[in-house]
Structure 1
């Protein structure tokens, strides 16, 4: 380590920091992993993001299932006991926290886990708890924070973002207003509606899930409407008149007032840049983000960013992708550039909306010719039996001179869609022809058979052309005289 105290210093122990430090420790490097408190270990995903939100969705699904069962004679009444709901969520967090605690990480990976406020105090120097640490490489995995509404009267309102929601909310809202139209907003709107809250969703855009296909978003919107969520598009909060009343605009015009008991905001996130000493280390910031190149390097080439600090894919698995590419660069003379070819994301509503690979916008920007295949689930046997016929599969396929084309990307809307797209994502990642699925035998009637349906339909169209049929007839007659 020459004159350094460590081989690597990682600031932030969320998804990005745990991955970066854990791999370094696993290969025997002396790694310092720093975060503010012991409960901050695990980061946003464990404490206020993926884990608690999915636990909440799981509980809400139990309520939805019970209500569905009233069709068959079950009698139910009442709302959720929110105290018990939150107790369940914290139990689930504690189970996972055992393997993300400082003690566990030190024991399992040999990391030096430090609890304290870290600040960059030099180009390769970090100060924490009055102690100066140095390393040839420093990784910033310092995460992001939720955006809040900044309108007149906002200071009088408690804005429950995903962090405050799981740490401060102690009662089931009577009327929850959710501001936003992305995955987090849709998940929270559906969950609280299922638990028994009245829910109004205010979306400034023209539709939900702007990063997913319109047809997919429309399926989810119809489900939310059917469950009683009041969805208002082109609608924004212009101001608050008191702690429980918002004045709205729709399409820029005054829409009137809306009363509520609680307000949840899901309108994006800011990269954390303050209080880190970035300027002392020569790390520059622009437009609220840490300037980082395609190889995860900041303006100080000894300092890198991963996870939300990178300012791009703000998902836990985005941090995993960043670390995979960054560690390739740290261990190899050939740098690996950040690419989004094989990325995917899931909105964990019911039904789930799962998107993978390249979007139409990305394909057009790259000048890639493609065709769109849209497959309804209306007549899929599993969808008929399990009552999700409104689902849809959308695929983007290349246009080769011969063959069926490669899977470039797509979206599936169905229960467990995030699990069902994995073979399509693998085809995409391995650059295999879509017709590889044509002769696969699925256990009947698994839901993922829908992935094969368009492939078989296309193969049948080729097989049943006029000249192909004549050739097959001749082959049969010659073989079976």
Structure 2
């Protein structure tokens, strides 16, 4: 048996990689090292979920102030202080990064704060030239924002840079229709920017349930975002004064202070040496089996770098399962069905299970849908509506999908996901007593199918 420097070397210090390293080391006694070329915590902690959600909170307070005034509070609304928020955000991310580093080191993981690449199935090369041998390699380098080829190098932002802005721009063009684009459009509008969101597709949030798509799109428009679907850029130029000139397929030419590309993410595999080591990639994504193993037996991959579900909790579950399987002697497969997710627009959108179209393609279904103005905002004349939708298999009565657009939908869908994952039926929902007065009671009060 060869004598390796480590039992496991993890490339990437994000959520999935850190979980795998910690469990392999602390729970299963493996000798583990990790390399992270940027900041510990990865996309979620440093430039994704965490800073995004904090910006969502900040953006929502403007509407809360207006709502408070409508309820009778005497308030004076000023402008949002981006600089003050940015300093506090930086401090929080620094704190979280130190926690990720400390937790890994406490678990016995050796951390190399530099880039690492794969030389062969058992060798990793560090940026400083050192070569490290390892029995197993785990690729957990996540994803990176994608900018279409004609516009790379123009100087526009991606979701990586938006948290690093020196100031809040007066006008922003957000390109894209996915959840990052919709979230960032809502955040920037809520903080005081004038926002135009441009998407080449027919409707935002492609892949989500159609009613949820339409509901979110209507909310974005109602908030004052200029949502332009079936529209794409034809040219983008950065002017001498730092602003951008944008031309589109509708023949318009407009000036924006800032441009944000939220046009998707791609696996972060470029230059890692994977193909040279014989690892099969599919459009840049690492191809793995149910055990997160590549075609090269000693190399594994988890998280957004693979061609599975790009969500932080999924990466964490995959990392933990990998460690238990390879080092704990307990084979664990991750179940990627009925994974809940949320889009943090205003109001939020939450979803789990099949969309109506997906379910209908599998068999006969019933759809239960309620759309209404919540009590809290209806009282003050706000037109924003909530949406609750259940997709039900007609024969078994099993709930195949649940879709919610409402304040706190991210919290609500987590609870609903337990029921859907357990295989709850519509009759189980009907037998559950309502909590009144709440929005979520609609989940157990929809008696007759809408279609």
CA–CA distance in structure 1, aligned partners of residues 64 and 340 of structure 2: 28
Pair 1:376-2:376 in alignment = no
Are residues 268 and 199 of structure 1, via their aligned partners in 2, closer, same or farther at CA, if it must alter by over 3 Å?
same
Is residue 298 of structure 2 the alignment partner of residue 291 of structure 1? no
Q: CA deviation at 1:84?
A: 1.0
Give 2:122's aligned residue: 124
Equivalent in 445, 451, 460 of residue 437 of structure 2: 445
TM-fit CA distance, 1:121: 1.4
List per-residue Cα deviations over 1:191-238 (Å, max 9, x = no partner): 111111111111111111112222222222222222211111111111
Cα distance in 2 for partners of 1:388, 1:2 equals 68
Q: What corresponds to 2:262 in structure 1? A: 266
Q: Which residue of 2 aligns with 1:313?
A: 309
- What are structure 2's unaligned runs of at least 5 residues? none
SS state at 1:235 partner: coil
SS of 1:184's partner is: helix
How far apart, CA to CA, are the structure 1 residues paired with 2:105 and 2:330?
31
Shift of 1:149: 3.3
Q: Secondary structure at the match of 2:370?
A: strand
In the alignment, is the contact (CA less than 8 A) between 2:348 and 2:407 conserved in 1?
yes
Higher helix fraction (1 or 2):
1
SS at match of 1:99: helix
Q: Verify the 8 A CA contact 2:15 2:316 in the aligned structure 1.
A: yes
The 3-state SS of whatever aligns with 1:426 is helix
User: Aligned partners of 1:321, 1:356: CA distance in 2, in Å?
Assistant: 17
Q: What's the secondary structure of 2:279's corresponding residue?
A: coil
Equivalent position SS for 2:100: coil
3-state secondary structure, aligned to 1:444? coil
Q: Does residue 160 in structure 1 map to residue 148 in structure 2?
A: no
Q: Supply the distance in 2 between the matched residues of 1:248 and 1:275 (Cα, whole angstroms).
A: 34
* Selected match of 2:395 from 386, 391, 400: 400
Match of 2:31 in 1: 30
CA–CA separation in structure 2 for the residues paired with 1:54 and 1:131: 38
Q: Which residue of 2 aligns with 1:6?
A: 6
Report whether the alignment pairs 1:176 with 2:168. Answer: no
Q: What is the deviation of 1:188? A: 1.1
Q: Deviations over 1:35-80 (max 9, x none)?
A: 114xx10001111111111111111111121133343464545431
Task: Tell me the residue number matched to 1:432.
Answer: 424
Give the corresponding residue for 1:49.
48
Equivalenced residue count is 441
Q: Does 1:277 align with 2:278?
A: no
Aligned: 1:112 with 2:110: yes
Structure 2 CA distance for partners of 1:383 and 1:423, relative to 1, 3 Å: farther
The aligned counterpart of 1:466 is none
1:390 maps to which of 379, 385, 388: 385
Greater relative contact order (Cα 8 A, min sep 6): structure 1 or 2?
2
CA distance in 2, matches of 1:432, 1:215: 22
Aligned twin of 2:94 = 94
Q: What is the root-mean-square deviation of aligned Cα atoms in Å?
A: 2.6
Residue of structure 2 equivalent to 1:195: 191
Q: Within 2, Cα distance between the matches of 1:17 and 1:85?
A: 30
Mapped contact 1:377–1:393 kept (Cα < 8 A): no
Query: C-alpha separation between the residues in 2 aligned to 1:395 and 1:271?
Result: 33
CA distance in 1, matches of 2:316, 2:146: 24
* Structure number, greater radius of gyration: 1
Q: Is the 8 A contact 1:52 1:90 kept in 2?
A: no
Relative to structure 1, the CA distance from residue 241 to residue 2 in structure 2 (aligned partners, 3 Å threshold; closer, same or farther) is: closer
Tell me: CA distance 1:414–1:13, structure 2 relative to 1, closer, same or farther (3 Å): same
Compare 287-296 and 382-391 and name the one that shifted more: 382-391
Could you tell me whether the CA contact under 8 Å between 1:341 and 1:358 is conserved in 2? no
C-alpha separation in 1, matches of 2:99 and 2:153: 39
Indicate the SS of the match to 1:127: strand
